[in-house]
Structure 1
């Protein structure tokens, strides 16, 4: 039922599903109900998810036809223009709805094949409130963003999780697509003209990893250790005189991560060592490829190569250090079956449960330990 073709129902019980109408401008077609688990793959099968967004606008209409104005009480939704389609996306008390059409009117003026509510005064018409360009954001990246923010599972709430908040979140993601950059190098052992092309948004990383790891599964995982003193990666570090103030701000955010690591049972010696050494994870796959995953103070770095040594010697194509500070194997294990890098991304970014803007160097290794514990064979 969740992915079957059907007409949308009307009700006030939140379903935790997305309703997608691929041809809202054709009367003889219906839509699809899609669950959170199905979201990314199902939509990828139904549409060209690589379409780039040209423009996006926030629209509003009154909640009731009896309103004199929709300045304070209104439903908000986003209309998107790509090269070939018009789209609308919105959330209400029943579900999240995405509509697609060849003409603007079928998504701007209609909701699930019915006219949107308007009033009888000039102040209660459907109104465009704000517009932005789409940059290089694709439909697939936007879907990835909605999925990892767990929007389908956030039950509609009149004050906290309402249509206006959802529309603002979607619009802001399109307006500011590079606020959560990751360094991703899909061929770290091959020549590259410019390393700058490796920086991309989390949502683009999801798309690239899904493409590359479709047939790959992990067979083994390892943790490697290098001294923090050998860290040659340019990054943002807090000056010593500002550290107390910075910790006041960041410790409450980092506390759940630190507590989770403590629960893993590492000895006091091991815990203290985390602040002098740096740990990162290397995965081996059934296809003979290797992935490294590591957290730097201001970003995540993901690298893929067929030559494992390059992942041990370099990070972001910069040497990790000299022969005196080479990467040393700390732990190894078989990997849990039927998992790949997509699962690691989900573990880190679904609900952003292990994400914070800045992480002190001494705490970065804890991400590696969490990943190792999650994906090692039992």
Structure 2
């Protein structure tokens, strides 16, 4: 190897080390920021979690009516506040940044939620975080896609989209029978992504899979049978 080639290799190696060092510093900075800001809540999830579901019935209104529905009243109130036979037409899965942390599609540092449209001309969103489960409804898709509990959310990115294969009744049955209302948030074993994947799959399941789940739900509880 000539002297000039050796010098070029040294400079190249030095440049690579510098880039790697800067990248590692950035990763460390983001990790420290994330842990200092969210660590105490998102690792355990128990401090802020509330069983049940927070339901915003008109998300487009600045002071839209919202209900914190406890587990004991979930089936009854959902029966009163929604049309159980309202058919799901289209389902979308979105990703947003966690505040202060950039979206990295392959990383765990992002928040996910599901948006779906029903035949009754409603748009809905459903999601899970350290506060609990949140269900939102509006005639305006932007109200559920770009707002969370009446507050703006970070810009969203569409991950996937499919046609729906069920109705509101089946979603309610799924949430109740699978005990999603009481599964406390945990960053590693029960987070927003776990919840969203399960909900998305349920809303877009084939007819055969859907039938099996409904049969299980009917056996699980008399309350579910009453709602159906």
TM-score, normalization by structure 2: 0.70
- For the pair 1:68 / 2:97, whether they are aligned, the reply is no
- For the pair 1:143 / 2:172, whether they are aligned, the reply is yes
Deviation of 1:69 (Å): 3.0
Deviation of 1:41 (Å): 1.7
- Name the residue aligned to 2:205: 176
- Name the residue aligned to 2:12: none
List per-residue Cα deviations over 1:49-73 (Å, max 9, x = no partner): 2100000010010112x33333221
- Name the residue aligned to 1:22: 57
- Name the residue aligned to 1:46: 81
Contact 1:17–1:35 under 8 Å retained in 2: yes
- Name the residue aligned to 2:161: 131
- For the pair 1:82 / 2:118, whether they are aligned, the reply is yes
* Cα root mean square deviation, aligned: 2.2
**How many matched pairs?**
175
Which structure 2 segments of 5+ residues have no match?
1-45
Secondary structure of the corresponding residue to residue 170 of structure 1: helix
* CA–CA separation in structure 2 for the residues paired with 1:159 and 1:129: 21
Contact 1:75–1:164 under 8 Å retained in 2: yes
Which structure 1 segments of 5+ residues have no match?
1-10, 119-124, 182-199, 207-341, 350-378
Contact 1:60–1:74 under 8 Å retained in 2: yes
Which of 158, 163, 183 is 2:187 aligned to?
A: 158
Which of 110, 132, 144 is 2:147 aligned to?
A: 110
- For the pair 1:33 / 2:62, whether they are aligned, the reply is no
* CA–CA separation in structure 1 for the residues paired with 2:167 and 2:179: 19
* CA–CA separation in structure 2 for the residues paired with 1:68 and 1:76: 14
* CA–CA separation in structure 1 for the residues paired with 2:213 and 2:55: 24
* CA–CA separation in structure 2 for the residues paired with 1:155 and 1:97: 13
- For the pair 1:345 / 2:228, whether they are aligned, the reply is no
Secondary structure of the corresponding residue to residue 38 of structure 1: helix
Secondary structure of the corresponding residue to residue 81 of structure 1: strand
* CA–CA separation in structure 2 for the residues paired with 1:133 and 1:145: 18
Q: Which has the higher contact order (CA 8 A, sep 6+)?
A: 2
List per-residue Cα deviations over 1:74-130 (Å, max 9, x = no partner): 1000001112100000011011000000011100000000011x3xxxxxx310101
Deviation of 1:167 (Å): 0.2
For the pair shown, which has the larger CA radius of gyration, 1 or 2? Answer: 1
- Name the residue aligned to 1:101: 138
Give 1 or 2: higher helix fraction: 2
Indicate how the Cα distance of structure 1 residues 177 and 97 shifts in structure 2: closer, same or farther if over 3 A, else same: farther
- Name the residue aligned to 2:25: none
* CA–CA separation in structure 1 for the residues paired with 2:54 and 2:80: 15
* CA–CA separation in structure 1 for the residues paired with 2:161 and 2:186: 26
Indicate how the Cα distance of structure 1 residues 155 and 114 shifts in structure 2: closer, same or farther if over 3 A, else same: same
* CA–CA separation in structure 2 for the residues paired with 1:111 and 1:138: 23
